[in-house]
Chains A and B, each alone.
Chain A
Amino acid sequence: MPEMTYWRALNLALHELMALDERVFVMGRTLRAGPPAEESSESRVDCETRSDRSVSARRRSVRRR
Chain B
Amino acid sequence: MAAGVGAALRGRRPIVEIMYSDFALLAFDPIANQAAMLRYTFGGQFDVPLVVRSTSGARGGGGAQHSQSLETLFAQIPGLEVVVPATPNDARALLKASAASPNPTIFLEHKALYTHRGLVDNDPLELGRACVARAGTDSTIVATQLLLHRSMDAADRLHAEDIDLEIIDLRTLWPLDIEAIYGSVRRTRRLLICHEAPLLLGFGAELAAQTQQELWSELHAPVARLGAARVPTPYSPPLKAALVPSVDEIVLTARALVHGR
A and B part of one assembly? yes
Residue in chain A with minimal CB distance to B55: A41
Whether A9 contacts B121 by the Cβ 8 Å rule is no
Count of chain B residues near A, Cβ 8 A? 34
Q: A13: which B residues are within 8 A, CB to CB? A: 91-93, 95-96
Q: Using C-beta atoms within 8 Å of the partner chain, give the interface range for chain A.
A: 20 to 34
Q: Which residues of A contact B88 (CB under 8 A)?
A: 4-6, 8-9
Q: Is B241's CB within 8 Å of the partner chain A?
A: no
Q: Please report B residues at the A interface, Cβ cutoff 8 Å.
A: 3-4, 7, 11-19, 53, 85, 87-89, 91-93, 95-96, 99, 109, 111, 113-121
Q: Which residue of A3, A6, A12, A27 is within 8 Å of B17 (Cβ)? A: A27
Encoded as 1 (CB less than 8 Å from any B CB) or 0, chain A from 12 to 53 comes to 111011000101111111110000000011101000000000
- Contact between chains at A7 and B115 (CB < 8 Å): yes
Please measure, in the bound complex, the distance between the C-alpha atom of A25 and the C-alpha atom of B14, giving whole angstroms: 5
The residue of chain B having its C-beta at the shortest distance from the C-beta of A29 within the complex is B17
Q: Is the CB of A24 within 8 A of B15?
A: yes
Q: Once the chains bind, are B114 and A5 in contact (CB under 8 Å)?
A: yes
CB nearest to B111 among chain A residues: A41
Q: Which chain B residues border A21 with CB–CB below 8 Å?
A: 13, 99
Given contacts A9-B92, A10-B92, A17-B96, contact A27 B14 (CB under 8 A): yes
Q: Which of A7, A24, A28, A40 contacts B53 (CB 8 A)?
A: A28
- Interface pair B17/A17, CB less than 8 Å apart: no
Q: Is the CB of A6 within 8 A of B95?
A: no
